[in-house]
Amino acid sequence: MHVSGTLAIVVAPQPNENWPPVRLREGRLPEILVGPGRDRLAIEIVESLAAELPVDRTRIHGTGHSMGGAGTWHVLAQRPDLFATDVPVWGRAHPATLARLKDVPIWNFHGEKDGVEPAETSRCIIAELRTLGGRPLYTEVPGVGHNHALPGRGAELGMIEAPRARGRRDVSGTTNDRDPILEAIGRTLTGRDAHVSVDSPG
């Protein structure tokens, strides 16, 4: 969340269980359910801070990894109006909520060799969002697994600055746009040129 000038507030709540409501399944990943879960607590924290401090509500951004990635998708589904941009990393959304997300600028990241939450999860989410009319960006990091840390975790900075620099709430593009802001974000996140690693809507 941005306040005046270059100041920002970073909110990083840490749950001891899944952010979305889930149904546990023995030997399998939990099934994510539709509806509010612990994500409502994260939303309450953000809303409380935004009410108490001079937060620029056009520059509230979400990101999270793994369980936090699922939480990022789920929080966004509950309150798509709250976030200017969203960067889920190695996470999973509920397919029934995707229509709510199609107008939010999203850049999704996943490791190609993720053995916990397969990359196919993100591929399907992105494909469905595009079918619904969304224009999310998707970067699949070659050869890395679930616990791979993106170099610098620069998503927060990049997604904060991209909409402001472009003058609109849009961080989508195509691989031919060669947008310098998106390329800078991509280099920070993946350690390689974004125009090579970003799968964008055509």
Residues 49-89: tens digit of each pLDDT: 999 998 888 888 888 888 888 889 988 988 999 998 888 98
Q: Helix H segments across 24-150?
A: 39-52, 67-78, 119-131
Confidence of residue 143 (pLDDT cuts 50, 70, 90): confident
Query: What pLDDT, on the 0 to 100 scale, is given for residue 16?
Result: 65
What residue ranges in 48-191 does DSSP mark as E strands? 61-65, 85-89, 107-111, 137-141
Lowest mean pLDDT, pick from 12-21, 63-72, 91-100: 12-21
Confidence of residue 129 (pLDDT cuts 50, 70, 90): very high
Res. 134: pLDDT tops 60: yes
Classified as helix, coil or strand, 14 is: coil
Domains of the chain: residue spans and CATH: 58-199 (3.40.50.1820)
Confidence of residue 99 (pLDDT cuts 50, 70, 90): very high
